[in-house]
Amino acid sequence: MRKTRIATAGAVVIAVVLAASTATYAASHSSHPGPTGPLLKEHQVTHQITSGQEKLKNTVVATGFSGVALTPGGFTPIDAGENITCVGPGTCTLEADMAVQAQGTGSSNAWAICFYVVDLGTYATCPYVGYLDSAFFENATQIESLSGIPAGVHKVQTQVYSANGGTAYNYTSTYHAYRP
């Protein structure tokens, strides 16, 4: 009977601690009003998902430790850029599965992970993924695609937008080329 009371008391203490830390985390993150409107309206390209079945033709993976300082209010390349072949004739769809770990500077530091086709000067849509905290590392993932890409070799890259700057750390980007 005594062991049951101790176990019950321990469970109550754990529940109270979890509830308090959840409330503290929620309160500290609810002060962010959130971004309004699209992040990259002037850079966005509308892309359409093709209705036909597409097949994977090429995959390239970039992974490592960046250590690069994030440009406040700008786009920062995370990887060096990778060449991927869009097999012709016709067009293909390029996709990027991106994961980036970063730490921010300042407060209300909205950030986004962006897929960029360097040689075409084209960004996929890249919505905000959250806020970079100056006290913690943040990790986020983003999957983006662009259709109607002409056949040939294209340089693709993961970039990060940060409102107030910070530092990027570990990253992995997997780029795919699909064709009907």
- Domain CATH number, residue 68: 2.60.120.660
Phi and psi for 102 in degrees, rounded to 5?
Answer: -150, 165
Q: Looking at the DSSP assignment, which residues form a beta bridge with residue 145? A: 95
Confidence of residue 44 (pLDDT cuts 50, 70, 90): very low
Q: Is residue 146 part of a domain?
A: yes
- 62 and 119 in a single domain? The answer is yes
- Model confidence, pTM: 0.71
Percent of the chain with pLDDT over 90: 60
Q: Which of 43-47, 48-52, 152-156 has the weakest average pLDDT?
A: 43-47
CB neighbours of residue 104 within 10 Å = 26
Residue 174: domain span: 55-179
Torsion angle of C-alpha atoms 39, 45, 49, 52, degrees rounded to 10: -170
- 70 and 145 in a single domain? The answer is yes
Q: Is residue 45 part of a domain?
A: no
- 27 and 70 in a single domain? The answer is no
Q: Is residue 24 part of a domain?
A: yes
Q: Is residue 48 part of a domain?
A: no
Q: Is residue 40 part of a domain?
A: no
Q: Is residue 37 part of a domain?
A: no
- 20 and 98 in a single domain? The answer is no
Count of structural domains, the chain: 2
Could you read off the pLDDT of 127-180 as tens digits, one per residue? 999 999 898 899 999 999 999 999 999 999 999 999 999 999 999 999 999 998
Please return the burial class of 54, using the count of CB atoms within 10 Å of its CB with bins 0-12, 13-18 and 19+.
middle
The average confidence (pLDDT) of the chain is 79
